[in-house]
């Protein structure tokens, strides 16, 4: 059973390009499930029945796992069984009608303006190009309310300065754009004119926000930056990327389709 799990994880890593952390989470969930079935005498995935799967989910709940954890483990199981069915290891997935616990989604909360100001002040303590980049990113995320993934995928060609405003072309099927008043992102032009040229190593690199290697900064990299400034401002636990992007100014023009 473990051999099929490893084959599935290999597919997630190579074909789906899941991160190592995500693959590790899948491995923990699926090995726990395999152990449960083997304790019940099952040696092959084709031996697993619908009732056994229900018993596994019931066992998770009885152990006191949070609903979010049970839902994640159930989703992991469903994905594995689909893989096994598609590969011919089992004739039918015994989990098709096994429901996952419904988990209420927390609505993103708006961060207080004084907290935002404290966070935005942190990069000003440093004279480095990276600090100017950080200030520009925080201002843009707060002023536009755009998704973090959209901001990190921006290229310099997607940014258009138009007098007292700046527009950003989004890379998705809806062909959206976001318009922000220059006064809400005052550091962006300084970053483009002064800091980014110092950070770029390859002139062919078009990413708007760069890391220390001169390559596109990732979402994970941005989160590390935000956590560092939040810690310096003694705001630990209060600031998340989701909360920050949903705390945009009410006076900022909305994204246009």
pLDDT tens for 182-199 read 888 999 999 999 999 999
Confidence of residue 250 (pLDDT cuts 50, 70, 90): very low
Per-residue pLDDT at 115 exceeds 50: yes
CATH top-level class of 113-245:
mainly alpha
CATH top-level class of 2-87:
mainly alpha
Question: What does pLDDT average to over the chain?
Answer: 82
Lowest-confidence pick of 86-95, 128-137, 234-243: 234-243
pLDDT tens for 22-31 read 888 888 889 9
Burial 180-199 (b: 16+ CB within 10 A, else e): beeebbebbeebbeebbeeb
Token pair listed for 60: 């998770």
pTM, full prediction: 0.56
Token pair listed for 257: 């389709």
Confidence of residue 257 (pLDDT cuts 50, 70, 90): very low
Domain regions of the chain by residue span: 2-87, 113-245
Partnered with residue 181 across adjacent β-strands are: 165
N-term to C-term CA, the chain: 49
Token pair listed for 154: 């921006």
- For residue 111, CA distances in Å to 117, 138, 211 come to 10, 13, 27
Helix (H) or strand (E) holding 177: strand 177-181
């Amino acid at each position: 059973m473990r051999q099929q799990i490893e084959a599935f994880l290999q597919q997630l890593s190579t074909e789906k390009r899941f991160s190592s952390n995500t693959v590790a989470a899948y491995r923990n969930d699926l090995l726990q499930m395999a152990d449960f079935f083997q304790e019940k005498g099952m040696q092959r995935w084709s031996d697993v029945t619908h009732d056994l799967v229900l018993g596994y989910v019931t066992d998770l709940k009885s152990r006191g796992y949070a609903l979010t954890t049970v839902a994640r483990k159930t989703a992991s199981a469903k994905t594995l069984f689909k893989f096994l069915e598609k590969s011919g290891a089992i004739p039918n997935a015994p989990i098709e009608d096994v429901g996952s616990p419904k988990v209420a989604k927390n609505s993103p909360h708006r961060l207080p303006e004084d907290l935002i100001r404290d966070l935005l002040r942190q990069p000003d303590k440093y004279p480095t190009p990276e600090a100017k980049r950080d200030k520009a990113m925080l201002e843009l995320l707060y002023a536009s309310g755009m998704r973090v993934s959209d901001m990190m995928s921006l290229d310099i060609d997607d940014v258009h300065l138009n007098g007292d405003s700046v527009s950003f072309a989004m890379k998705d099927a809806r062909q959206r754009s976001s318009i922000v008043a220059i006064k809400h992102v005052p550091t962006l032009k300084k970053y483009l004119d002064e800091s980014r040229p110092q950070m770029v190593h390859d002139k062919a690199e078009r990413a708007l926000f760069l890391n220390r290697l001169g390559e596109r900064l990732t979402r994970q990299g941005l989160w590390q930056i935000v956590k560092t400034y939040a810690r310096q401002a003694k705001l630990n636990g209060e600031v998340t990327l989701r909360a920050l992007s949903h705390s945009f100014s009410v006076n900022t023009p909305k994204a246009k389709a």
